[in-house]
Structure 1
Amino acid sequence: MKHLITFLLAVFLSSSAYCQTLFIPGGIVGMSSNENVGIGRSAPASMLHIFNNDDYVYANVGLTIEQRGTGDAKVQYLLTNVQRWVTGIDNSDADKFIIGRGIDWS
């Protein structure tokens, strides 16, 4: 599951401005006719559908956003030309977990 999530993130982050190396270790990765992507699901219900059906409760469960450098590890929720909400770890403010608006927490 961990490698499949890494694969999915690489797909979503790839663009002409970035070069990505993809590793697909096996398992279920699906793409529906409307271009939704599923991990652990062959018929994804949304643009990104991560499905898990087990009893794991360790660090390898779910979705991981990791920042190795001095930047912030965050997830952004954007209504185009309207509003942006961000959640994540503010690396420049004692690694606090932040929920806020906008792109710059400083």
Structure 2
Amino acid sequence: MSSNNVIRQPGFVIKGSQTTTRVKQSVLIDVPTTTQEALILKTTDDSSTKNLFEVQDSTDTVMASIGASGKALFQNFTDSTTGFQILDKDGGTPIFNVDTTNERVGIGNNAPAVSLEVGDATGEEIIRVSSGANSNAILSANSFSSTGNPLTQYIVAGGNNWATGVDNADSDKYKISFHITDLGTN
């Protein structure tokens, strides 16, 4: 077999090589420019230290890869509030949105305001914690600071806000409060 196979199609060029002892193939697809220097796809051999699939920019920086162990990497060239999205067929509000500018994730929300924001415009149940018939269903709020308070807050737009949680400063008592800042005082 030839060590330099080239397939040319309108708009792109595929270059590759094969060996006869074992099926290994390396494929390059060059961006159709006059210099053809921007590598957009590269597959490597089956070594566990190399990626099975890579997307690189024109400076050979890996922008996306799938490693031999199954590890996946996606990295934006520049940060963006819509850095990575999963859309439905009509392309409306993203089902999943990663904001790499502010390091936030939105599910059913195209502009998450906090680290993880889940939104649903239907008025239906948004998050369900469930278990098997013989197991506990656990929803956990953790404070990773010895002086922090694990809390849940209930907010009604234009209405009253309520908070429940453990007041670490008051012997770890469980309290209910009218506002999150007044835990245990109302």
The TM-score, its normalising length taken from structure 2, stands at 0.31
Decide which of 73, 76, 82 is 2:150's aligned counterpart. 73
Aligned to 1:48: 127
Letter in 1 for 2:155: L
Aligned to 1:88: 165
Select the structure of larger CA radius of gyration: 2
Structure 1, unaligned runs of 5 or more: 1-13, 22-30, 37-44
The Cα of 1:68 is off from its aligned counterpart by 1.7
- 2-structure distance, mates of 1:88, 1:82: 20
Percent of matched pairs sharing the same residue: 21
Greater strand content: 2
Letter in 2 for 1:49: R
After TM superposition, list the pairs within 5 Å mapping 1:1-106 onto structure 2.
Answer: 19=103, 46-57=125-136, 61-69=137-145, 70-104=147-181, 105=183
- 2-structure distance, mates of 1:17, 1:66: 26
Greater helix content: 1
Letter in 1 for 2:133: D
Moved segments of 4+, more than 6 Å: 14-17
Identify which of structures 1 and 2 has the higher relative contact order when contacts are C-alpha pairs closer than 8 Å and 6+ apart. Answer: 1
The Cα of 1:91 is off from its aligned counterpart by 1.1
The TM-score, its normalising length taken from structure 1, stands at 0.51
- 2-structure distance, mates of 1:17, 1:76: 27
- 2-structure distance, mates of 1:68, 1:17: 25
The Cα of 1:55 is off from its aligned counterpart by 1.2
- Cα deviations by residue, 1:47-88 (Å, 9 ceiling, x for unpaired): 11122123135xxx4111111212210101111121111111
Q: Over the residues paired in the alignment, what is the CA RMSD in angstroms?
A: 3.1
Aligned length: 70
- 2-structure distance, mates of 1:81, 1:92: 30
Structure 2, unaligned runs of 5 or more: 1-97, 109-118
- 2-structure distance, mates of 1:15, 1:102: 29
